[in-house]
């Protein structure tokens, strides 16, 4: 067996790059969302609750964000303390705990969404439409392989269908959610 070192090096380089890009994005996002008192992770949780519509359970948030319930629980703990979220026991089933966004959380979420979208536009600006499509597809291939590694019995076909639908829904709601900010901004700059 001969090892193709170039091929191997390329794999390692790609692996590094996938991690480093995310690290860099997280640092930027913590800065962007930090202006509104949120970390990048806290923003994702708020946006997910907004999208799923209250009442939302911790497991729903974890499922949507493809994270463990345990790690999402810890993030939520750190959001309940400063009053961004509220935990309320379900009236019908007392074992279930629902999570709600407080008015303080709402106040942070909207401007943070506008700033976040502005940041995404900026950071992706070097990529053409074709580049973006290629990147989404290639990353998806790696992600599905990773999911298959974690659970060999997983139904990838069904996952792909669900994901496409969920994303389309989320983006429509996100755009609707922040769209009133655009005419407002225009009005301020316009004539009286």
Site of interaction with a copy of itself (CB under 8 A) = 1, 3, 5, 7-25, 27-28, 31, 44, 65-68, 117, 119-127, 129, 131-136, 138-147, 149-150, 167-168, 170-171, 174-175, 182, 186
- Residue 50 CB, shortest distance to a copy of itself, in Å, is 14
- Token pair recorded at residue 154: 């997983």
Q: Of 63 and 104, which CB lies nearer to a copy of itself in the complex structure?
A: 63
Q: Of 68 and 87, which CB lies nearer to a copy of itself in the complex structure?
A: 68
Residue pair 51/174 in contact (Cβ under 8 Å)? The answer is: yes
Q: Which of 116, 45, 103 is nearest to 78 (CA)?
A: 45
- Residue 25 CB, shortest distance to a copy of itself, in Å, is 6
Q: Of 3 and 53, which CB lies nearer to a copy of itself in the complex structure?
A: 3
Coil, helix or strand at residue 94? coil
- Residue 171 CB, shortest distance to a copy of itself, in Å, is 4
Q: What share of the chain is helix, strand, coil (3-state, %, to 5)?
A: 70, 5, 20
Q: Of 86 and 110, which CB lies nearer to a copy of itself in the complex structure?
A: 110
Q: How far apart are CA 165 and CA 145, in angstroms?
A: 20
Q: How far apart are CA 138 and CA 132, in angstroms?
A: 10
- Residue 126 CB, shortest distance to a copy of itself, in Å, is 5
């Amino acid at each position: 067996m001969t090892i193709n070192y170039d091929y191997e090096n390329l794999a390692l380089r790609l692996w590094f790059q996938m991690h480093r890009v995310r690290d860099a994005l997280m640092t930027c996002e913590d800065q962007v969302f930090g202006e509104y008192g949120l970390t990048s992770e806290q923003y994702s949780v708020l946006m997910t609750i907004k999208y799923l519509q209250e009442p939302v359970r911790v497991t729903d948030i974890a499922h949507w964000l493809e994270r463990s319930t345990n790690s999402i629980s810890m993030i939520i703990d750190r959001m309940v303390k400063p009053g961004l979220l509220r935990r309320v026991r379900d009236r019908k089933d007392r074992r279930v705990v629902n999570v709600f966004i407080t008015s303080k959380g709402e106040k942070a979420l909207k401007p943070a969404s506008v700033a976040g979208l502005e940041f995404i536009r900026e950071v992706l600006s070097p990529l053409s439409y074709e580049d973006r499509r290629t990147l989404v597809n290639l990353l998806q291939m790696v992600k599905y392989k990773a999911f298959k590694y974690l659970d060999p019995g997983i139904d990838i076909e069904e996952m792909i269908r669900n994901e496409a639908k969920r994303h389309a829904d989320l983006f429509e709601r996100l755009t609707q959610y922040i769209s009133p900010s655009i005419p407002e901004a225009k009005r301020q700059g316009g004539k009286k």
